[in-house]
Amino acid sequence: MRKSVSLAVILSAIAVPCAFTSVVTGQPKTPPLKIGTFDSRGVALAFYSSEEGKKLLEEGGEPGLEARAHLQTFSTGTVTDIIEKIKTAPPRVAREDGVSLIVSKWQVAYKDPFVEYVDVTRDLVNLFNPTMLKTDDIVNYCKSEPVPIEKMSMAPPPKKGSVASVRDAVRKPIKVVPNSPKTKAITRPEVWR
């Protein structure tokens, strides 16, 4: 009995420190790095379906706005100009989701298998309070594949009123259902095929 208790105490004394150190290096284990990723198309769609985004599209004062909105919403165009509008919010989202960094999933060139990736798309989408589309619809839209950016940039800009127009897509409430004809029309417009 005494030997088994002594053995248990010795094993516990060894096991507890080993649980917090690397067997190979003997260094304390650090928690895995957590990186927040988001689908930039969802952020763009949320912004352009918000009151501020709709107003910006309707005024259209900025040269190239419509083309940039299409790259952002249908392809993998950068949304740094949109994120700038909510620049104080990403640190809060990072804290709430326990991530050290937030980056577009389209900008990640390499994924280390020992890093934990957390999808923060829904949290960023909610920051824009999209009025014409529901958050779930936007998140479902992000499950579809983006139009390759090279196809987008070589195509002429869509005509106002076409199915491919972001302005029209956010004006009319739509239900985004993956693989439905309506979703395909929005995610892969005929203009760019």
Tokens of residue 153, six digits: 């940039």
Q: In degrees rounded to 5, what are phi and psi of residue 18?
A: -65, -30
Q: Is the pLDDT of residue 79 over 50?
A: yes
Task: Decide: 164 and 126 in contact? Cβ < 8 Å.
Answer: no
For 88, the token pair is 């104080």
Mean pLDDT for 85-112 is 92
Q: C-alpha 145: how far from its chain's center?
A: 13
pLDDT in tens, 8-17: 334 344 444 4
* pTM (two decimals): 0.66
Q: What is the pLDDT of residues 102-161, one digit of tens each?
A: 999 999 999 888 899 999 999 999 999 887 788 889 989 999 999 988 887 555 555 655
76 vs 18, residue with greater confidence: 76
Reduced 3-state DSSP string for the chain: CHHHHHHHHHHHHHHHHHHCECCCCCCECCCCCEEEEECHHHHHHHHHCCHHHHHHHHHCCCCCHHHHHHHHHHCCCCCHHHHHHHCCHHHHHHHHHCCCEEEEHHHCCCCCCCCEEEECHHHHHHHCCCCCCCHHHHHHHCCCCCCCHHHHHHCCCCCCCCCCCHHHHHHCCCCCCCCCHHHHHHHCCHHHC
